[in-house]
Structure 1
């Protein structure tokens, strides 16, 4: 539909978050980042003196920084809508410029609040730690080693830096390879045990939990998910990867999400047989 076929690419929206978090694991394996328990300000010192003082990389990965954020896609005044709408002084990173103005609403590590801006910060952190663009590092660590068929496309901000919280466009089969990489544990890409930690519930809430930028719904699966219906669902027990590209009429739709999960469960049942 909509001209999208095997040769094409489709935007991931927040499926990209799970890819960005994997680059953190790669940077740890490569020695660019010492630990996810390092303070964020060690790698982004221009956040010092703001709400991110004392926040660790782990707390960014699990969306538990304690910094206040509004992710309402229908509200033009929400943080997610305004993040790149303001003029940025020359020489400053747009993400850091916006995020350092946000107030603290709880202690770090206590409260889960979904924040695309924080995944954008993770991208800034990886760029600064590796001194490479995210696209170049993604190509080096995942795209070439894992035999992706098609080039990816990453939307950039006004400075030309990748918007790492969303907007990585990938072909359907290569989305499947991303899921397969996670299923197989990312051997040679991330430290041993990275995906075991990244894809388990580091924080829990009704209906599931959240790992390192991976959703952990009930039923022994983990998933990368994006608005308008994008998903990679991985079922380790059945060695099964399911990918959906979609164009839902709304950013979030409970009924369509339930239909997608019902379909996934039917595929799981068929695989079991």
Structure 2
């Protein structure tokens, strides 16, 4: 920028005008420098800033910006930080996975931000989209439910929760006198409480759309205040019905039991020991509790490390953080969901072939196939909304294609080794 000299003979009006232009130019330069100093996720967020806290009713552009920076949104509550591990787990590269499909086209159809395939602990495929990359954090949505489930297992092993058959009111006394009087921890975990709940993401009047805006009674957690008013629909244990509110209730129960924030317990039991490379954040409710059914922000590679941790038995130094046999129960069908060869465990979606999934709205997920040593992470912003049936079917097709590719490699390896003649005598 050229230097401007103002002489003693310059008229006062000209001096003022010149000063104003110079000052505004300096502000513009400072603003530009400040803008460029921001990371690209924050710049994207500020360019398309959502102005209301209800994610379900954001525009696609707002979701693209917000999902990568949910913990920096002024319209949402604060978050707790989950520090990175001091001993990050390496994810070494493996040979590129040969798939009979166009991965770029698949990602475009998913509106994918991240896609990672681990096989036997090695990265066989890693791609990013929507301007996202390995250094950023993407929100989990209901993938957090499966993380919360694992922390419940840890709390049982640590003795904070005595039994899956304990009553909810043993840990949350303010729920006494509600429809949850006869509901057990196990029934919360399998979503079989029988309490009425509407999870319609397109309905502004549904429970899932309204409960975050509920004004609680003085001294009562906002979620507890909302949930204890819900009526019973059917007897406890007789019906599976998906309810984010109940996973959030599990989080309150868990925090009451362990007597520490869930982010702290997550750091102690999983994030640190499993070797997560980057810090995560966990969004808080208006009353300062981690929203356990949602909203852990983490790097895609760390979601993959969590999947690998579960696939390897949730073990730290050879010892599982959950009770013996508990993880097998959690990740296999405890209750039917009315669909062939599919079920629900303890906050995990289960399949008949032994694989299972953590799933979140708009295309977030961790697919785990222990038999094939597979972990697949998907972060996305589905064009068709929270539950996009076309995108969901395409994603399951991708999982099957990866399974087949791994099976074909195994068959090919066996055939190649069997065709080698044994060496003769020397």
Q: TM-score range by the shorter chain?
A: over 0.9
Whole-Å separation in 2 of the counterparts to 1:159 and 1:218: 40
Which region of structure 1 is more displaced relative to structure 2, 119-128 or 79-88? 79-88
In the alignment, structure 1 residue 223 sits paired with structure 2 residue 351:
no
User: Are 1:209 and 2:315 an aligned pair?
Assistant: no
**Partner Cα distance (1:94, 1:270) in 2:** 48
| Separation in 2, partners of 1:219, 1:53 | 36
Matches within 5 A, 1:43-62: 43-62=171-190
Cα offset, 1:3, TM superposition: 3.2
Residue 192 (structure 2) pairs with residue 64 (structure 1): yes
Q: Distance in 1 between matches of 2:324 and 2:270?
A: 16
Q: Does 1:95 align with 2:223?
A: yes
Which runs of structure 2 are paired with 1:31-46 in the superposition (5 Å)?
31-46=159-174
1:252 maps to 2:387: yes
Cα offsets for 1:21-57 (capped at 9, x unmatched): 1110010011100011101100001101100011000
Between 36-45 and 183-192, the greater mean CA deviation after superposition: 183-192
- Preserved CA contact (<8 Å) 1:209 1:217: yes
Distance across 2 between alignment mates of 1:253 and 1:26: 33
User: In structure 1, what is the Cα distance between the partners aligned to 2:400 and 2:380?
Assistant: 18
Rounded to whole Å, the distance in 1 between the matches of 2:220 and 2:298 is: 29
User: Aligned-pair distance for 1:160?
Assistant: 1.6
* 8 Å Cα contact 1:198/1:213 also seen in 2: yes
Residues 198, 214 of structure 1: 8 Å contact kept: yes
Contact 1:185 1:193 in 2 (8 A): no
1:265 aligns with 2:393: no
Q: TM-score, normalised by structure 2?
A: 0.63
What secondary structure is seen at the aligned counterpart in 2 of 1:216? strand
The one of 368, 374, 385 aligned to 1:234 = 368
1:122/1:164 contact within 8 Å kept? yes
Q: Is the 8 A contact 1:95 1:117 kept in 2?
A: yes
Equivalent of residue 278 in structure 2, options 135, 150, 153: 150
Deviations 1:183-229 (A, max 9, x none): 11112311121210001110013131000000013433100000000
Q: Across the two proteins, how many residue pairs are aligned to each other? A: 273
How far apart are residue 86 of structure 1 and its match? 1.8
84-93 or 40-49: bigger deviation = 84-93
Give TM-score scaled by structure 1 length. 0.98
User: Which 10-residue stretch deviates more, 90-99 or 108-117?
Assistant: 90-99
Q: 1:234 and 1:2 mapped to 2: Cα distance?
A: 25
Whether the 8 Å CA contact 1:21–1:213 is kept in 2: the answer is: yes
Q: Is the CA contact (8 Å cut-off) linking 1:185 and 1:192 kept in structure 2? A: no
**Does the alignment pair 1:190 with 2:318?**
no
Are the aligned partners of 2:349 and 2:359 in contact in 1 as well (CA < 8 Å)?
A: yes
Please tell me whether residue 104 in structure 1 is matched to residue 232 in structure 2: yes
Report the Cα distance in structure 2 between the residues aligned to 1:127 and 1:58, rounded to whole angstroms: 17
The CA distance in 2 between the partners of 1:145 and 1:219, in whole Å, is 29
Contact 1:135 1:162 in 2 (8 A): yes
Contact 1:176 1:232 in 2 (8 A): yes
Give per-residue Cα distances to partners, 1:217-269, cap 9 Å, x unaligned: 34331000000001101111101111101111210011111100111111111
8 A contact 1:14–1:165 mirrored in 2:
yes
Structure 1 segments, 4+ long, off by >4 Å, are: none
CA contact (8 A) 1:18 1:214 kept: yes
> In the aligned structure 1, how far is the partner of 2:352 from the partner of 2:403?
14
Q: Gaps spanning 5+ residues in structure 1: where?
A: none
Q: What residue ranges of structure 2 are gaps of 5+ in the alignment?
A: 1-128, 410-426
Q: Tell me the secondary structure at the aligned position of residue 245 of structure 1.
A: strand
